[in-house]
Amino acid sequence: MFAYIVRRLLYAIPILIGVNLLTFTLFFVVNSPDDMAASQLGDKYVTPEAIENWKQKNGYDKPLFLNPDVAGLARLTDTIFFDKSVRLFAFDFGRSESGRDITTDVASRMWPSLAVALPTFLVGIGVNICVALMVVMFHGTRLDRGAVFLFVALMSISYLFYIIGGQFLVAKTWRLVPISGFHAEGQVWKFLILPVLVGVVAGIGAGARWYRTLFLEEANQDYVRTARAKGCSELTILFRHILPNALIPILTGVVVLIPSLFMGSLLIESFFGIPGLGSYMLDAINSQDFAIVRSMVFIGSILYILGLLLTDISYTWADPRVRLS
């Protein structure tokens, strides 16, 4: 088990290097720092001097991979690649193009993101499982078919409409909670209810439908017939036999998302004005702040790899048949 985890962590290194190379290529080779300067400065102010100034200010005035002007190891370290990419491995994200320290920003914005994403995630799974179980109990009836159609219809509505509709109904028409905003002190929950609610409702269609399929898949297994032959009631079969088995794919399917909860949700956060990492990314995209985008790509990759590892570990915990080696 321990050896397995260590091996998986070692395997993460080439992947992170790959991610880094890819983003570096995207940001510095496809578009040279000159191009970036030109577009940041705007058409009117593009002069060679202005570009040089901008590059110097933002630390893009070095060669990409190899610096022939200096000696020794500095040939490799005194380059854009080292400054902008290799340093990420030490979690040194540097400064954004507007001059703010990215590490501090990330550390402080992580928590509001989590405050929205975690309840959404947990409540969502709970609600989806309950809804799916109810539907499965009526399997084969009209209710079941109607519910499946409803799930598909819910899935077909854009996430944006859930947010806009939720804000319009709950906050504007019924005036139950504030439309948006976030205050760390006092009544945080007031600001969290609506985003969480919207997140959960938006996920019901796809989630409940998926869980329903998983439950039905298990319901077709031989051991369910055995349980029936023993004299178990249908409810006992559903809760004591089908549910524990279906939890394995459910668990392993959602565990991969847990670390990424820190990243928050782009849409929810921007609509509800929550100062988390999601809105941070959106702002960075809108202001074309590539330093932030690059850092967030790196963090996102790490969290995803962590999620994969957690998935494997959760397998051994949920399924007695699986042993990691």
Residue 22 CB, nearest distance to another protein (Å)?
7
What is the spatial distance between Cα 278 and Cα 178, in angstroms, rounded to a whole number?
A: 20
Residue 98's DSSP bridge partners are none
In what helix (H) or strand (E) does residue 48 lie, and over which residues does it extend?
Answer: helix 48-58
Q: Which is nearer to another protein, 118 or 293 (CB)?
A: 293
Q: Which is nearer to another protein, 187 or 286 (CB)?
A: 286
Give the residue from 159, 138, 171, 150 showing the smallest Cα distance to 203. 159
Residue 189 CB, nearest distance to another protein (Å)?
23
Q: Which is nearer to another protein, 74 or 146 (CB)?
A: 146
Give the three-state DSSP class for 23: helix
Residue 120 CB, nearest distance to another protein (Å)?
17
Residue 70 CB, nearest distance to another protein (Å)?
29
DSSP label at residue 138: T
CA atoms within 13 A on the CB side of 140: 3
Residue pair 133/214 in contact by the 8 Å Cβ criterion: no
Residue 134 CB, nearest distance to another protein (Å)?
19
Q: Which is nearer to another protein, 78 or 144 (CB)?
A: 144
Transcribe 85-124 into DSSP letters.
Answer: IGGGGGT---B-TTS-BHHHHHHHHHHHHHHHHHHHHHHH
Q: Which is nearer to another protein, 75 or 150 (CB)?
A: 150
